[in-house]
A = this chain, B = another copy of it.
Amino acid sequence: MTNQDPDIRETHDLIASDMVVGTNVYDIQGNHIGQVERLILEKRGGRVSYAVLSFGGFLGIGDDYYPLPWQKLDYDESLAGFRIDITKEQVEGAPRYARDQDFDWNAESGRRVYDYYGVRPYWV
């Protein structure tokens, strides 16, 4: 990635939160499909439990928010965004919540998110 800002944003194996939140998301073919709305962090351990994505306007599937395991997001420097291996069909069946509502953030619903994407939950 070309670092246009003199401030540190992305180095080695680290990435700044402001390079993540609001950043574009692309599918495996490089099509722009959404963006990262926010991260959900463990208060104690400081781990990213979920990245919350929106796909509205891209896949024609509304304005809902989709929690994904962090491990599904792969930063692609050439795109200056995240590439994720996900199809429109997968998104259509995925755990989501309405933009103006709450997601029930608990271990069980979290497990469903991780299971849906085939990622082993880090807490089991």
Give Cα A16 to B14, complex, Å.
19
Cβ–Cβ < 8 Å partners of A71 in chain B: 46
Give Cα A21 to B99, complex, Å.
20
The answer to whether A103 and B8 touch across the interface, beta carbons within 8 angstroms, is yes
- A7 on interface, CB distance cutoff 8 Å: yes
Task: Annotate A43-54 by CB proximity to B: 1 below 8 A, 0 otherwise.
Answer: 111111100000
- A89 on interface, CB distance cutoff 8 Å: no
A48 contact from B46, B101, B102, B103, Cβ within 8 A = B46
The answer to whether B14 and A49 touch across the interface, beta carbons within 8 angstroms, is yes
> In the complex, what's the smallest C-beta–C-beta distance from A62 to chain B, in angstroms?
16
Those of A68-111 within 8 Å (CB) of chain B: 70-71, 75, 97, 99-103, 105-106
Please give the residue numbers on chain A whose beta carbons come within 8 Å of chain B beta carbons, in ascending order.
6-8, 11-18, 20-21, 38-49, 70-71, 75, 97, 99-103, 105-106
